[in-house]
Chain A
Amino acid sequence: QVQLQESGPGLVKPSETLSLNCSVSGGSMSNHYWNWIRQSPGKGLEWIGYVFSSGTTHYNPSFESRVTISIDTSKNQFSLRLTSVTAADAAVYFCARAALQPDARWFDPWGQGTVVTVSS
């Protein structure tokens, strides 16, 4: 059974870069979409973007100028970088898997989430 686990700093200073990792265990990363999603009181659940197992990415236009999602299948992990953070980026960040088939791209499973605070 595939499990995902987020890790990274819980506190980021304004204008700096948020970096998170998601470790995948219990299965292969091949032929899946690996996603970052965040949840804040003000914006609810927001899909940030995905990286496919081949390295192809697609980002939500709301984040496109600031976000990079990358994958390292040899380490069974993928990563999120979000630059120039502000207080609006404070949220719980989740990683989640979606299947390859176009009619099967729901999110399952999810990581437990990691809280990121933005403060100096």
Chain B
Amino acid sequence: DIVLTQSPGTLSLSPGERATISCRASQSVGTRFLAWYQQKPGQAPRLLIYSAFSRATGIPDRFSGSGSGTDFTLTISRLEPEDFAVYYCQQYGSSLPWTFGQGTKVEIK
């Protein structure tokens, strides 16, 4: 299985600050077979980013993704109050099973 390791586990920031979340894969997931999701309490994960850097429909441009191979990053340029949540990366390459990172909680400082 491809293990995805996210860091940090928790990010304590203030509204308006920049958030950077890392997702490292135990082996290459291909150039861009990586997605990012946001999850709020009591809700299902919501797709934010697919193909490593493409924003899903309706996702604000303060969210951006980058990386390839084994190292990927999700950046939130300026945190809005509604952005405080848990973020997950997920690989959907040809190597099954598809797997998720353990999550990064972005909390209000």
Contact = CB atoms under 8 A, between A and B. Distances in A.
Interface of A: 44-47, 58, 60-62, 94, 96, 98, 102-113
A3 to B, nearest CB: 11
Given A105-B92, A106-B90, A44 B100 contact: yes
Interface bin, chain B:
20 to 34
A104 B50 contact: yes
B67 to A, nearest CB: 15
Contacts of A111: 44
B97 interface: yes
Q: Which of B90, B97, B100, B101 has the most CB of A within 10 A?
A: B97
Contacts, number: 56
B11 interface: no
B98 A47 contact: yes
A112 B43 contact: yes
Contacts of B35: 106-107
11 contacts: A47-B97, A47-B99, A58-B96, A94-B44, A96-B44, A98-B92, A104-B51, A106-B51, A106-B90, A112-B44, A113-B44
